[in-house]
Amino acid sequence: NIKIDNWHAISTYSPYDKAGVNNDTCDLFGSNTVTITNGFSYCHDDAFCIKSHKFAWKGEVYDVSYNDCISYAVDGGNGIDLGYELNENVRNLSYKNMYIVRSNGTRGEMRRGAIALHNAAEGTVDGVTYENIYIEDPREFGFHMAVLESEYSLGTDPVTKENLYWTKPGHVRNVKVK
C-alpha cells in the first residue's frame, strides 16, 4: 500500500561508472499495491524501473500504477523500464499519462528505450498497460520489448557472497499499448 505523489528526483552523474550512468531515480523491488503520481525523474540511467529480484531483494511485483509522471534520462537509461531482473513474477502494471522527454542509449548492449520491457530472468510478466504515453526524444529505441538472456540478470548476494544467476528467460503476456 505505497502511495507516492508530487515528487521530484534528480540523480547525479555517477563518478563510479566510466559512462557516468547507473543512477536510477525510482526503482521498485518486489513491491505491490503501489501508486506513483505526479512525479518528475531526471536521471543518468533508468527513470521508472521495476525489478522483482536483484541481489538480496526478492519478491513478486503486482498492482502497480504510474500516472502523470515525467522522465528525462540524460546520459543513458530507459524512461519506463520493466526488467532486467525479473526472476519473480510481475503482474498488473499500468503506466498512464506519462511524458518521456528523453531516453538515451550510450551503450548498444543495454537496449535503451523510452518504453522498455526486458524480461531476462525466469519470472512471468503478465498484464501490462501503457496508455497515453508521449515520447519526445528517444536516442536508441522508442519502444523495446524483449525476452532474452542477459548478463544483467546476474548478481552476487551481498550477505552470503553466493552467485545468484538464472539462465533461461521467462515469459511476457497480455501487454496493451493504447
pLDDT tens-place string over residues 115-142: 999 888 888 999 999 999 999 999 888 9
125/23 Cα distance (integer angstroms): 24
Query: Model confidence over 90-117: pLDDT tens digits?
Result: 999 999 999 999 998 765 556 789 999 9
Cis ω on the peptide bond leading into residue 84 (within 30° of 0)?
yes
Among 27-31, 68-72, 147-151, the range scoring the smallest mean pLDDT is: 147-151
Q: Is the pLDDT of residue 157 over 80?
A: no
Distance CA 173, CA 163 (A): 29
Say which residue, 77 or 38, is predicted with more confidence.
Answer: 38
How deeply is 160 buried, as exposed, middle or buried, from its count of CB atoms within 10 A (0-12, 13-18, 19+)? Answer: exposed
Ranking 41-45, 52-56, 129-133 by mean pLDDT, the lowest is 52-56
Q: How many CB atoms lie within 10 A of CB 31?
A: 18
Instruction: Tell me: pLDDT of 63 over 70.
Output: yes
Cell of 87: 526472476
